[in-house]
Each structure stands twice: as C-alpha cells, then as structure tokens.
Chain A
Amino acid sequence: MKLLEEFSIGLFFWQAVLFLALLFLLRKFAWKPILNAVNEREEKISDSLVQAEKAQEELKQMQAQNEDLLKDARAERDGLIKEAKETATKMISDAKDAAKEEGSKMLASAQESINAEKVTAIMELKTTVAAFSIEIAEKIVRSELSSEDKQKALADKMAEDINLN
C-alpha cells in the first residue's frame, strides 16, 4: 500500500489544525458579517420592491380618486349651469307670462271701458235722436195742423185707416 506509506500523520495533524482554525476564524470574522450583510441587503431590496409596488398602487388609487373627484365636480358644475339656465328661462317665461297676463288684463279693462263708453255714447245718441225726432215730429205736426184743411184731411185719412181695418 504505497498510498498509506505516503500518508503523513504530522501533515494530517497540521492541516486539520490549520483548517479548523481558519474555519472558526472565518466563521466569526467573515462569513457571519458577509452573509448577514447579503441577507440584510436582499431583505431591503425585496422590502423596497414591495413598498414601491404599494406606493404605485396608492398612486393609482389616488389618481382614480382624483378622477372621481373631478368627475363629481364636473357633474356638479354641469348641474349648476343647468339649474341656472333653467332658473333663467323660468324667470323669463314667468316674466313673459306675467307681462302677457297684465297685458291681457289691461286689454280687457280697456275693452270694458270702451264698451261702457260705447253704451253710454249709444244711450246719449239715442236720447239725442229721440229729442231730435220729437222736435222734428213736433215741427211736422205743427206744420200739418197749421190749417183747417190739413186738420180735416188728416182726420179723414186716419178715419179711413180705421175703416179699412
């Protein structure tokens, strides 16, 4: 067994001692801090990524909220404008209606007074015409009955009329 002959216990001893010493020294002074730093950084990165995603989502939510608010505001503005328009048209139409009513009222009262005037005017005309007629009749009667002949003719005529009846 050449392999065994070559094996040196002393070398084995020193190698084991040196390796174990290195193992414990590196474990304490190198691997722990290095692995901790790497872990810490990995955690930090993944945390940051999660947070970034969260922030993005929040931003999206806020944007949606903003849009909603804007939409609401727009709708409200539209409503207000519409309402204002409606009020304006209503006021105008109301005013128109009122004016029309007033107008028609005034027209009616004017007609009424015209009618009343007309009636009084007709009445007056009638009385005046009656007075004139009476005057004319008086004059005619006077002229008709101014002579005997004429009185007798009249009476005849009247009598004739009666006879005929």
Chain B
Amino acid sequence: MAVNANPHEEEEHNDSAIERSEEEQAAYDKAKNGEYVIHHTKDSHDFGFVTNESENKHYGFSLPVILYDEGFHFFSSSSFDHGHKVAKSDGKYFKLNSHDAKIYRCDEYGEIYESLKPWDFSITKNVIVTFLMCLLMFLLFRGIAKSYRTGLAPTGAAKFFEPIVVFIRDEIAVPNIGEKQSKKYMAYLLTVFFFIWFLNLAGMTPLGINVTGNLALTAALALITFIITTFTGNKNYWMHIFWMPGVPVPMKIILIPIELIGMVVKPFALMIRLYANMLAGHVVLGMLIVAVYSFENYFASGAFLGLTFFMNIIELLVALLQAYIFTMLTALYFGAASATAEHH
C-alpha cells in the first residue's frame, strides 16, 4: 500500500502510531484508506506515479503553477514539495494545502490566510491529461480524415471509428434533431462524445486520472451545451418557454417560470450526471482496491481482486455509456431548440 497516500496525514500521526489501541488503529486505517481513495479522484498540481510513504518520497514530475494574485505568478509545483514548503514568488508566499489540494496565500512561516485564495490557473494534472487526450484525438481523427483522400472505403482506424461516427449521426443526431438541422450540430456532438469517452478511458489507466469525474470539466461541457442550445433556439423554442402553445392562458403564465428553470436544470443535470457517475465509479474501484490490501486472508483478497476486475469491466462500459448519454441528451436539447412547429 505505497501509492500516493497523503504524506501530511502520515507525518502528523507518525509519532503516536505505536501507542494506538487496536480499535483506534482500525479507525485510523479506515480514515486513511478513505482519504487515499478520495485523493485519487482529485486534481493535483503534480503528476505523481508512485509514492513511498515511509520515506516520504514521490516519484513523478512537477507541473507549472500559474497564479493570479495582484499580478501573475509562475513557478514550478516542485517549490511546494507536496505541501511541505512555502513557495515565494514576487514577494508573496504561497502554500499548497494538502487537505483540499488548493493553493493559499500564507506568511513566510507557512501560516495560511484562509480568506486569501489566489486565482489558480495552474497547468494541473487534469489540464495536462486533457491536453494530451486532445492532441491524441486531433492526430487520430485528422489521420482518419486524411485516409479518405486515397479512397472512399475506410481503412485502418477509420474502420473502427467510422461506424461510431455514423451511429452518432444516424442514431443520435438525426432522430433527435432532424436530418436537416442536425448538420450544424454534428461537429459538437461528435467532439463531445469522443472527448468524454476518451477521457473516461484515460481514467481507466492506473495513472490515477479522473478528469471527467471533476466538476470543472463537466461544468465546462454543460455550459457549452447550454450556450449552443440558447443561441440556436428558434422562434418555436422560445415560444415553448414564454408562451406555451395549446394550453389555457393561466397555464401559460404558470409554465413560464417552470420552463425557465428547466432551461437551466437540463444542462445542470448533464453536469451532475457525468460528474457523479465517473466520480462514483472511481471511488468504488478505489475502495475495492484498498479492500484487496486490507485483508490478511488470501481468500478475501482474492475475492476482492475478482470483484475489482469485474467492476473494471463495468466501468469500461460506463465510460462509453456516459459519453453516449451526454451526447444523446445534448442532441435532445438541440432538437428542442431547433424543432419546427410541424413536429408537434
């Protein structure tokens, strides 16, 4: 059990470890395991692979930190030394709080000013992973696009990805939006589907990546869906919000606030659904992996190993399913925004 457990926690309790009773030890292990799992679902300012707890050594690489606190501050995350050191930049002191993995202003002795939180635009682990995945997707799909220049029949990777592209067009976009209107939304639907799917799959690697299970990403995607829905909404769409056709006038008035709330709730639900599903998947997997190590009985460890494998398979399915659901619901909202009156 030597992977990335919180070093700060370890340090605090190190001296009293021997004096703990059995019950206390159990409670301490439980808390430690819980923190270990949660820590792995969080973004971090360095890209760690392995941590040696007893020696407090971290193997990985540090990432650039970009802060805005009355001016921009750039430095490497190695200056924090995983929350042990105070980083000095342009006459200001910053410290990485290892409890919530956020950067705070502090004095030169490391006393944190809780109220002073700089704007953190650091290139974190999630940003790096997202960037690498974007790069991979761009190269992959540009390669596929290029492969069509030689002939119309799909070759290589196109053989695998073309049916998925066609599926999104024929089974998600066209039935929900309509053949003609769906054309302008295709680029977004395809990008969002593959973006979520690839990042979900990146989360399945043993690198402790959890990009799609982070509110920042799902919020960004949901906001873009909301903006596109709102700005491509036609007369019919706004009519259904502000003056619902086919119901009596008092109902029309009652429906206005409900529909307005619905406008916001729909993308909000998108945001929460993806976030909660991916986070929950990672937490469950993390717990199961912890369980494998926690038992001294080989049979129990073996059983949990099997269960972890089983959950992994399910998570692989969920990775695809959540991408599909997000794309599907986005298409549904676009369909409502661009539907013409004849559809009803």
Contacts and interface: CB of A to CB of B under 8 A. Distances in A.
21 contacts: A6-B42, A6-B215, A7-B219, A8-B120, A9-B120, A11-B126, A16-B223, A18-B130, A18-B131, A19-B134, A19-B195, A22-B191, A26-B187, A27-B187, A30-B141, A30-B145, A31-B191, A34-B144, A37-B152, A38-B162, A38-B166
A109 B34 CA distance: 148
A8 B124 CA distance: 11
Contacts of A27: 187, 191
B186 A35 contact: yes
Contacts of A9: 119-120, 216
B137 A26 contact: yes
10 closest cross-chain pairs (CB), A and B:
A30-B141, A37-B148, A11-B216, A27-B187, A33-B145, A12-B216, A16-B220, A10-B121, A41-B152, A10-B120
B273 interface: no
A7 B43 CA distance: 10
A34 B165 contact: yes
Interface in A23-75: 23, 25-27, 29-35, 37-38, 40-41, 44
B187 A31 contact: yes
- Interface footprint category on A: 20 to 34
Contacts of B223: 16
Interface string B143-166: 011101000110000100010011
A18 B127 contact: yes
Contacts, number: 124
A15 to B, nearest CB: 4
Residue of B42, B102, B134 with most partner-chain A CB within 10 A: B134
Contact of B43 (A11, A38, A44): A11
B221 interface: yes
Nearest to A39: B169
Contacts of A37: 145, 148, 152
Contacts of A14: 121, 123-124, 126-127, 130
B19 interface: no
A18 B187 CA distance: 15
A5 B216 CA distance: 11
B186 A18 contact: no
Contacts of B169: 35, 38
A8 to B, nearest CB: 5
B33 to A, nearest CB: 19
Interface string B114-146: 000001111110110011001001100110111
Nearest to B221: A19
Majority secondary structure, B binding face? helix
A29 B141 CA distance: 8
A25 B146 CA distance: 14
A154 to B, nearest CB: 151
Contacts of B303: none
A7 B138 contact: no
Nearest to A24: B187
A162 interface: no
Interface of A: 3, 5-16, 18-23, 25-27, 29-35, 37-38, 40-41, 44
A11 B103 CA distance: 13
A31 B189 CA distance: 10
Nearest to A35: B186
A22 B136 CA distance: 10
Contacts of A32: 145, 187
Contacts of A19: 130, 134, 191, 195, 220-221, 224
Nearest to B67: A10
Contacts of A23: 187-188, 191
B176 interface: no
B190 interface: yes
B217 interface: yes
B100 interface: yes
A21 B158 CA distance: 23
B200 interface: no
Contacts of A40: 152
B197 to A, nearest CB: 13
Contacts of A16: 220, 223-224
Contacts of B188: 23
A31 B190 contact: yes
Contacts of B131: 18
A29 B216 contact: no
Contacts of B120: 8-10
A70 to B, nearest CB: 43
